[in-house]
Chain A
Amino acid sequence: MTIVDPHTVRHVARLARLSLDESEVERLGAEMSSILDYFAALEEVDVPQQTGPTPRSLDPVLREDVESAERLALPVESLAPDARDGLIVVPRLEALGGKNGDS
């Protein structure tokens, strides 16, 4: 039985880049713990031995090294929330000295 404690919830939320308030941390911890309980059924199945990469019954598909005709209906600048001089702009990483990204 796996208990997802608040420390683990915060760690996972950090990996997933989700900011959670304390009530969410508590609720998600409880929900995840109870869902993981059901996952014990995974242990009850007789599974095959694994020696190589998990097989997938798909024929390989490769593409030729030629430029494709696919063109965007819109330029990147019209999609991005902030773009200048053709570049997509975001606030700097905090570690690199980020500040308010409004401009």
Chain B
Amino acid sequence: MIRTIDEAQRLLAGGSTPEELLERAAARQAELEAGDPALNAFLSTIDEYTPQESGPQADGELEGVPYAVKDNICTLDLPTTCGSLILQGYRSPYRATAVARLEAAGARLFGKTNCDEFAMGSSTENSAFGASRNPYDRDRVPGGSSGGSAAAVAAGVVPFALGSETGGSVRQPASFCGLVGLKPSYGRVSRYGLVAFASSLDQIGILTRGVRDAGRVLEIIAGADPRDATCQDRPAPRASALDGVQLDGQVIGVPNEYLGLGLDAGVRAAFDASLAQLEAAGAQIREVSLPSTPAAIPCYYVIAPAEASSNLARYDGVRYGLRDTSSSGLEDLYSRTRARGFGAEVKRRIMLGTFALSAGYFDEFYGRAQLVRQAIVRDFDRVFESEVDALFTPTTPTTAFRLGEKIADPYDMYLSDVYTVSANLAGLPAVSVPIGNIGSLPIGAQFMAPRFGEETLLGLALRLEELTGYACPELQETAA
């Protein structure tokens, strides 16, 4: 197992080669796949470890450290399928900016992780290549859509992985798998090479065991990119700044709307305990109100599918990817290729999004949701301007649920994003941290901070991590 970046660097300093670290990751991966059921965290892995030439950046910040990338982020070395049949075997002829920056820092790609198809889902059950499992309980989901990345880091294959967030797809699996899951501010990390689900919400996120590692990776991948017009020109948050953030004097808000909504009693108890620890360490806790919260899920499930319906129009069988060859003409080719290539949830969202944008329904759904989104932004602006430095809430209403438990009821599945979607709608940075467990299952809580407030955000998360002492339970290996 390689649990942290420090651990990997200690091995390298002790004489291990980067290739040996990749082999170690492969061995761990093989062990997990041999389990019954298999973890199914990866869709593809590097199987030949050719030593890389030591370039000018041989002393890169992450030289030789293996990592994993969610399969909706473009890499040159392995396929990028987005967990979809429509891109089965697709190899991107270019790589994402975030991946290029990690490679420039010396990190070594080990594999591409499983995810819900086009990142649409909260359990990784919507992958065309089979569900991933939660390493803490293989009957349960690892969360989603970055479930493969969460499972891979939680099980100790790699010390960190990139995921992506549109409505909680990094924080929710982090919470289910006992990890730190960071969603940076919208515009913090380039989306170039992140296969779009909902462009106004998408952001590459980071899954690690500890807060410091998340900060280190963020510092490398953050910052302006001439290839993404929404990526903002701001200095990257410094990992070294986290120690300067003290709890004493911080005002931490708890939005009362987040403490109903199907919140599990065990999760609530763990959350209250963390809150008490924060207060005891000097933070001032204040109850606040975000009155638009009840509309966040509907708002999200109008805007995200609407954008998705357009973003996924390019998978038409013309230029790349799957093509149905039984078609008699082009229209037939489009409809059959897309019917065959997309899974049920993707189709459902394309239908929902197309409907929300269509003539006669646009104002009622898409137009209205845009206004509600502004109301949500306004709620956050108000509390951050006048009341609090950060917000603290549970990440998810429950711990990891069982495979198949929610797949039959789409809206029930959508509700598992209830605490996370608002940060995406408002473009805020948010981070989920492990705060305890119910039985073998981890519990997470999240901080949200003002836009581009990652240094404060991660500083607070680091203090909480110290208070709870890495609160994720020890991994109990299920029978292999």
Contact = CB atoms under 8 A, between A and B. Distances in A.
A–B in direct contact per CB < 8 Å: yes
A57 B335 CA distance: 37
Contacts of B322: 81
Interface residues of B, number: 72
Interface in A7-35: 8-9, 11-13, 15-20, 24, 28, 31-32, 34-35
Interface string A34-55: 1110111111111110100011
Contact of B372 (A17, A42, A58, A79): A42
B320 interface: yes
A13 B226 contact: no
Contacts of B332: 19, 91, 94, 98
Contacts of A42: 295, 298-299, 302, 365, 368-369, 372
B407 to A, nearest CB: 13
Q: Is the interface of A mostly helix, strand, loop or mixed?
A: loop
Contact of A16 (B91, B200, B309): B309
B53 interface: no
A57 B234 CA distance: 14
Contacts of A41: 294-295, 297-298
A80 to B, nearest CB: 5
Nearest to B187: A58
Nearest to B226: A63
B371 A50 contact: yes
B295 to A, nearest CB: 5
B110 interface: no
Interface in B353-383: 354-355, 358, 361, 364-365, 368-372, 374-375, 378
A93 B329 contact: yes
B358 to A, nearest CB: 6
B347 interface: yes
A24 B310 CA distance: 21
Given A31-B348, A100-B328, A48 B375 contact: yes
Nearest to A54: B370
Interface in A47-81: 47-48, 50, 54-63, 70, 72-74, 76, 79-81
Interface in B291-340: 291-292, 294-295, 297-299, 301-302, 309, 313, 316-323, 325, 327-336, 338-339
Contacts of B368: 42-43, 47
B365 A39 contact: yes
A88 B330 CA distance: 13
Contacts of B233: 59, 61
Interface residues of A, number: 62
Given A46-B375, A79-B320, A80-B318, A72 B94 contact: yes
Given A80-B320, A99-B329, A9 B339 contact: no
A4 B356 CA distance: 12
Contacts of A32: 348, 351-352, 355
A31 B350 CA distance: 13
Contact of B333 (A4, A38, A39, A91): A91
B424 to A, nearest CB: 14
B439 interface: no
Interface of B: 76, 91, 93-94, 187, 200, 224, 226-233, 291-292, 294-295, 297-299, 301-302, 309, 313, 316-323, 325, 327-336, 338-339, 342, 347-348, 350-352, 354-355, 358, 361, 364-365, 368-372, 374-375, 378, 410-411, 414, 427, 451
Given A39-B365, A41-B297, A54-B374, 8 more contacts: A8-B355, A48-B375, A61-B226, A93-B329, A93-B331, A94-B329, A94-B331, A100-B328
24 contacts: A8-B355, A15-B354, A15-B358, A16-B313, A18-B351, A19-B339, A31-B410, A34-B411, A35-B301, A40-B298, A41-B298, A47-B372, A58-B187, A61-B233, A62-B229, A74-B91, A76-B319, A79-B319, A81-B317, A81-B322, A82-B323, A94-B329, A98-B331, A101-B327
